[in-house]
Each structure stands twice: as C-alpha cells, then as structure tokens.
Amino acid sequence: MASCLRSERIQSPSPSTERSLRKPAAVTFTLLLLTAASWAQIPTSGNVFFGYSYSRGQTFSVFGNNNTNMNGWEGTLEGKFLPWLGGVADFDWHYGGTDLFGCVTVGCIPRKFRLSGSRHTVLFGPRASITLGRYTPFAEFMLGIAHQSDTGGGISNSDTTFSRAIGGGMDYKLVKGVAWRGQLDSVHTHFFGGAQNDIRISTGIVFHF
C-alpha cells in the first residue's frame, strides 16, 4: 500500500475538544468515587486475574486507519461487596504493528517500513456475576484512561484519552480457589481526534480469595 507520511508533532487539543472531554471526565470521576466507596467497605472476598490478551488496534491513526493485530496481557483485581456485585480495577498492555510500502518524506524513494503501536489502558467499574455450579458468568462496564505511542519510519507520536469498556466473560472452576477465565470486551477510545472501537479477548488464570 502506497503512502506518504510527514514527520510532525501532535498539537495540543483545541478548546472545543477540551470541552467535549469534560462530560466523560465527570462520568469517569463519579464512577471512580463509587468504586472507591465500594472498596471502602473492605470486601471480604474477590479475585485476581492475569492472562494473555488479544486486541484489534491502529497504528498512526492520525495518518489514516492502519488496523493491526495487537497482543499483550490483561490483569484485573475484583473486590466483592455483594455476593453478585463487585468493583473491578483493570489494567492491560497491547503491542502490534503493520508493514507499509511508501515514502516517509516527500520526494523519497518508496521503501518498506514498519509502523508499531503500544497501547495501555487503566479502567475501573462495576461487575455483576452469578455462580452456577462450576461456571461463573459475569458482565462489566468500566471507565478510565488509555495511552498509545506509535513509532516507525523515523517518526513517532503519542496520545492519551478517556476510554470505556463493556463486555463480560465466564470463569470455570478448576479446583477450590482457582478458575480459568475467558473474557470479551469492546473497548472505546478517542485517539488523535478519531473514535476507535476495538475488541479485546483475554484468557488466563483466576485466583479467588
């Protein structure tokens, strides 16, 4: 795919962009307060999850929609303050890249180069679940922030934005206190002035306490 990219720095958000971020900022802050309040009750049970995670993403979305597969990890900590409702802290990291053929600067000789992207998200929110024998299905809604940095062809950029995720999954009990989890979320971000909606699929081990 032919392309022509210019090396440039991302400018600061305009006043209108800053105003548009005030509402999600207020919602995020409110949700964080509610989550913190639930944790203040000192949950007596919960779980810790860590595992492999796959996500769709983009690299250098400021220049166009360069979709790529991204691999990484996800970790969560849930504290139960009701048998069916908990507060979740969610952290993940994904990395991926795509190969392009084109010019990095005007007048250059077209060549193949790689664009790489690294994305981190930190999310908080409620999770509802129910236990049915060995199975524990759950649904969740979370808000937080996301950061992405891109490099390739001698250029780089980065951006931080509000993020939200909605989804769910299921735990399968292996032995007492240990389960295996499969999870699917839709993660919404707004990097470089454009909206992104990417799937995130994670699987790994869960320790209940």
The SS3 assignment for 40 reads coil
State the average pLDDT over residues 73-88: 94
- Residues 87-110: tens digit of each pLDDT: 999 999 999 887 766 655 566 666
Cβ atoms within 10 A of the Cβ of 49, count? 24
Q: For the whole model, what pTM was predicted?
A: 0.73
Residue 132 is given by DSSP the state B
Q: What is the pLDDT of residues 125-181, one digit of tens each?
A: 999 999 999 999 999 999 999 999 888 767 788 899 999 999 999 999 999 999 999
Using the predicted structure, report yes or no on whether residue 9 has a pLDDT greater than 60: no
Spatial distance between the Cα atoms of 65 and 59, rounded to a whole number of angstroms: 8
182 versus 82: the higher-pLDDT residue is 182
In sequence order, which ranges of 7-106 are alpha helices (DSSP H)? 15-39
Give the C-alpha distances (Å, rounded to integers) separating 194 from 17, 61, 97, 197: 11, 8, 19, 10
Domains and CATH numbers, the chain: 45-208 (2.40.160.20)
